Structure 1
Amino acid sequence: MRADWVAASARARSMALHRIGAGASREVAAQQALTAALSALQASSYAERLHGVAGLAAAERAVQETVLWRLRVLAGWLPASGTGLARAAAGIFEIENIVALARELSGGAKAPAPYHLGTLATAWPRLRTARTRDELASVLAATAWGDVGAGGPGLLRDALNISWLRRLADLAPAARAWCGAASVLTAARILLLDGDAPSPRMLHLLRPVLGSAWESTTSIDAFTAAIPSSLRGVLDGVASAKDLWRAEARAYSSVEKDGFRLLGSSVPGPDVVLGAVAVLSLDAWRLRAALTAAAAGAGSSEVLDAAA
């Protein structure tokens, strides 16, 4: 690996050390109110953006803003050959911007201020000026996101998520398992939990990963048997579609484990950076789950328990 990745890899490892970790997330979840949970985070790396926030939605947004800021800082350390990886990693935030705008254009709530992506934007500068849903879809089709098909914000998010993960996996082979797991869970939810037929665009996105045999199945067992054998482990222990959330939590945990493994590579390079992005992103996911539990006064989080 070229020496231009050495500094970026060192920075990535350093940033990953600033996570709060699973144990601290459980302590946050055990708080009996959101205010107590936020107080417990005053000395954490999330404190600056959490300061003064009111309400769960604002706290979750602050946590995500922290991740994006770290990604933008890390991108500044990358060599030119790493620009595509950084931009692909930031795609999840562009998805949030796009879905929020689509919801507003469809007559829903006014979109919040978009995440500021700077040079990590894939297509947002062109998309943000759309004035109708049809215009948004037309502009999207001419970008790296591609044709996302028709449907509401939920269907749009699904299509964008799979498109994003496939792009990330193309740039970073270490992320292929993540794309596979997300494809399995998305397809199973649409078909077996929502009871919907996947849109033509979703089928186009999913077939290269899952094949097509699953499309006519009506049970978890049949679905599992119909997908590639290498992906069946994603659904281990899932007895019905109602248990898919447990498999999703385990999948997040698996991504985190992969992230730690990549961070431990002895060779500086893109895999180390990808590992840091995974670890920091999953740390934020755990914290958001913990804040949700604290806001509800639940005393613990089933999501965190399932991911253990």
Structure 2
Amino acid sequence: MGAGWVAGVTRAEAMAAGRAGPDTARRLATAPSLSDALRELAGTCYRRGLDVTAGAADAQRAVSEALVWQLRVLAGWQPRPGTVAVRLLASAFEIENTHHHLRALSGAPRRAPYRLGALSTAWPRLSRTTSPAGLRAVLATSAWGDPGAESPAAVVTGMRLSAAARTAANVPQAARWAAGRAALLVAREVRLTGLRLTGPAGRRAASLLGPAALRAPSFTGFRDRLAPPARWALADVERPEDLWRAEARWWHAVEGEALGMLRRARLDASPVVAAAAVLGVDAWRVRAGLECAAQGGRALEAFDELVG
């Protein structure tokens, strides 16, 4: 089986090595202006589709689109198990497409979706739906499963929990990341914003986090009763208001573990999963750098605390 991974692993290692990196993100954050930062970015893997005159939101969107393109290329070089792993790790982009489509169905301005190609799970069918009920029905008959309700918040949360559950089940190298991400999601949506998990979404959350955590009456009780694979993500977090620090720590942990996987590269899915992860972290860090540059350096302290 290893021989089938040679080209895919080689491509994964090369793409991970070609990321912008933390030093570049720091230069973006400390640039005199956003336009200076974008000229710096034009020499990186994010140059595809980049407009150096763009505003912050458009520039950050271009970074995300460049990441989608990188993940599509990475997936295209893999044997089928590697393609499946990359698709699961890229689930956030189909979720975002679906969210904006659902909002457009309610009258919000329509936005161009990410072009997913082989990263798509059900997007072509979802994009053709004409009502929230129809969208939910398509989700229910796809690998995403029924989100439990039709509101944008319920759909997004249900899809994120579905992605986490399927990643934990099918990508063992990323199972710990998926469980931690689900813990952060439920802590934010349930404990901070008051969303109620219904039906399938609640069952997926229970399978990832443990039923005891979901029954806990307080935030600290939720944190302390989390299943072991998820507990690390909320360690030492005392209040829901501090979740942003835990989310930053999640990104750092993913990057550290993924870089370790790359150093131990084998002819299997591990380097591919690791490459997809470090590319995702890199784009997150670059977007933060651009936001800091757009604010004229006023957010540099927050950047340093968030990104390190």
| Same fold at TM > 0.5 | yes
TM-score in terms of structure 2 length: 0.93
SS at 1:50's partner residue? coil
SS at 1:40's partner residue? helix
Alignment partner, residue 94 of structure 2: 94
Matched letter for residue 149 of structure 1: G
Q: Distance in 2 between matches of 1:173 and 1:87?
A: 14
Kindly state the Cα deviation for residue 190 of structure 1 after the two structures are TM-superposed. 2.2
Answer yes or no: is the 8 Å Cα contact 1:7–1:77 preserved in 2.
yes
Q: Distance in 2 between matches of 1:25 and 1:15?
A: 17
Matched letter for residue 122 of structure 2: A
Alignment partner, residue 122 of structure 1: 121
Alignment partner, residue 76 of structure 2: 76
Alignment partner, residue 141 of structure 2: 142
Answer yes or no: is the 8 Å Cα contact 2:167–2:174 preserved in 1.
yes
% same residue? 38
Alignment partner, residue 237 of structure 1: 236
Equivalent runs, 1:152-301 vs 2, <5 Å? 152-297=151-296, 298-300=298-300
How much is the aligned-residue C-alpha RMSD, in angstroms?
Answer: 1.9
- Point out the more displaced range, 92-101 or 215-224: 215-224
Matched letter for residue 227 of structure 2: P
Aligned residues: 307
Say if 1:195 and 1:123 are closer, same or farther in 2 by CA, change over 3 A: closer
Say if 1:184 and 1:299 are closer, same or farther in 2 by CA, change over 3 A: closer
Q: Distance in 1 between matches of 2:85 and 2:240?
A: 34
Say if 1:180 and 1:274 are closer, same or farther in 2 by CA, change over 3 A: same
- Point out the more displaced range, 254-263 or 147-156: 147-156
Kindly state the Cα deviation for residue 14 of structure 1 after the two structures are TM-superposed. 0.5
Matched letter for residue 103 of structure 1: R
Q: Distance in 2 between matches of 1:239 and 1:266?
A: 37
Answer yes or no: is the 8 Å Cα contact 1:126–1:139 preserved in 2.
yes
Residue by residue over 1:34-80, the C-alpha shift from the partner in whole angstroms, topping out at 9 and shown as x without a partner, is 22221221211212321345222211111111111111212221123
Q: Which segments of structure 1 move beyond 6 Å, counting only runs of 4 or more?
A: none
Alignment partner, residue 7 of structure 1: 7
Say if 1:244 and 1:59 are closer, same or farther in 2 by CA, change over 3 A: same
Matched letter for residue 101 of structure 1: H
Q: Distance in 2 between matches of 1:290 and 1:203?
A: 36
Matched letter for residue 261 of structure 1: G
Say if 1:88 and 1:197 are closer, same or farther in 2 by CA, change over 3 A: closer
TM-score in terms of structure 1 length: 0.93
Residue by residue over 1:277-298, the C-alpha shift from the partner in whole angstroms, topping out at 9 and shown as x without a partner, is 0000110011111111221222
5+ long unaligned stretches in structure 1: none
Residue by residue over 1:124-144, the C-alpha shift from the partner in whole angstroms, topping out at 9 and shown as x without a partner, is 111111011111111111100
SS at 1:49's partner residue? coil
Q: Distance in 1 between matches of 2:283 and 2:128?
A: 30
Kindly state the Cα deviation for residue 230 of structure 1 after the two structures are TM-superposed. 4.4
- Point out the more displaced range, 216-225 or 203-212: 216-225
Q: Distance in 2 between matches of 1:69 and 1:50?
A: 13
SS at 2:41's partner residue? coil
Q: Distance in 2 between matches of 1:156 and 1:69?
A: 25
Kindly state the Cα deviation for residue 206 of structure 1 after the two structures are TM-superposed. 0.4
Alignment partner, residue 31 of structure 2: 31
